């Protein structure tokens, strides 16, 4: 079946450094790729998303890139801050199936 692989599972960076999380999806019909941030004990919240007709999207310190040929998409966080510490999930949504397939999550720790 369809799956989304997410790496790394944990990531520690120094405050001010950049963080990159990568996902690979299997279903070539996927056309919507959201990223969620989940703080400890809280619900997931959308931080950025990208659709298959766009290669890159940026929102302040956060950017997402999509390579449809390679079926890769990545989250980039620049100038990391302690409040960026959380678990991040990528997901892929398929046109026609209407399902969401999530990655297994990346625990990001930003060290002050």
Partner 1 sequence: EAQVTQNPRYLITVTGKKLTVTCSQNMNHEYMSWYRQDPGLGLRQIYYSMNVEVTDKGDVPEGYKVSRKEKRNFPLILESPSPNQTSLYFCASSLYPTSGDAGEQFFGPGTRLTVL
Contact footprint for partner 1 (CB under 8 A): 1, 6, 31-32, 34, 43-46, 49, 51, 89, 91, 93, 98-105
**Structure letter (DSSP) for residue 96:** T
The three-point CA angle 109-10-23 to 5° equals 115
Q: Which is nearer to partner 1, 3 or 81 (CB)?
A: 3
To the nearest whole angstrom, how small is the minimum distance from the Cβ of residue 46 to partner 1?
A: 5
To the nearest whole angstrom, how small is the minimum distance from the Cβ of residue 35 to partner 1?
A: 11
Cβ atoms of 18 and 76 closer than 8 Å:
yes
Length of the chain: 112
24's tokens: 């690979």
What are the φ/ψ torsions at residue 83 (nearest 5 degrees)?
Answer: -70, -5
Q: Which is nearer to partner 1, 2 or 20 (CB)?
A: 2
To the nearest whole angstrom, how small is the minimum distance from the Cβ of residue 44 to partner 1?
A: 5
């Amino acid at each position: 079946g369809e799956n989304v692989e997410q790496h790394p599972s944990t990531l520690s960076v120094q405050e001010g450094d950049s963080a990159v999380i990568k996902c690979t999806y299997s279903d070539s019909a996927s056309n919507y790729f959201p990223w969620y941030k989940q703080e400890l004990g809280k619900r997931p919240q959308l931080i950025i998303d990208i659709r298959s007709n766009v290669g890159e999207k940026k929102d302040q310190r956060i950017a997402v890139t999509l390579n449809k040929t390679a079926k890769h998409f990545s989250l980039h966080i620049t100038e990391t801050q302690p409040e960026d510490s959380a678990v991040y999930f990528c997901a892929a949504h398929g046109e026609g199936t209407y399902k969401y397939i999530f990655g297994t999550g990346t625990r990001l720790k930003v060290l002050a």
